């Protein structure tokens, strides 16, 4: 069955409307993500501004990051490639509070390249791990 001109125009209009609504939806999602990220950064800045001690700053940043990512722990780590280890000096943040953790782990060069910046590392929650 062939469509006449007016029916074809209606179909094309419907397709254009669907595409416009899809673009609008993607824009709304991007805006919500941007606002959420901005709110987190403001909350992080407010929480860290009053702290002086580097270890409490790292601990609080880890805690807030863990909450944001819904993980059971998040760490700050320093890598010492010459010595071949990664040192986690900061308190390990859990959703329920902070528990002190200082540990050294062997450095895996293939996992942490020398050019990689030191950044917060988030661990998956137990629910997201495979059994």
Taking only the tens place, the pLDDT of each residue in 8-28 is: 888 888 889 999 999 999 999
CA gap 26, 46 in Å, rounded: 30
pTM attached to this predicted model: 0.56
Taking only the tens place, the pLDDT of each residue in 58-109 is: 888 888 888 888 887 777 778 877 877 777 765 555 555 545 455 555 555 4
According to DSSP, the residues that pair with 123 across neighbouring strands are 73
Determine contact, residues 70/125, Cβ cutoff 8 Å: yes
What are the angstrom distances between the C-alpha of 22 and each of 18, 36, 45?
A: 6, 21, 35
């Amino acid at each position: 069955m062939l469509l006449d001109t007016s029916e074809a125009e209606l179909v094309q209009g419907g397709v254009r409307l669907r595409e416009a609504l899809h673009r609008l939806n993607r824009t709304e999602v991007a805006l919500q993500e941007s606002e959420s990220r901005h709110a987190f950064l403001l909350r992080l800045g407010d929480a860290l501004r009053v702290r002086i001690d580097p270890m409490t700053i790292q601990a609080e940043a880890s805690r807030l990051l863990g909450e944001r990512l819904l993980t059971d722990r998040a760490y700050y780590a320093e890598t010492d490639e010459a010595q071949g280890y990664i040192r986690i000096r900061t308190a390990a943040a859990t959703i329920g509070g902070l528990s002190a953790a200082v540990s050294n782990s062997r450095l895996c060069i293939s996992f942490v390249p020398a050019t990689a910046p030191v950044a917060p590392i988030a661990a998956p929650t137990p629910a997201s791990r495979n059994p």
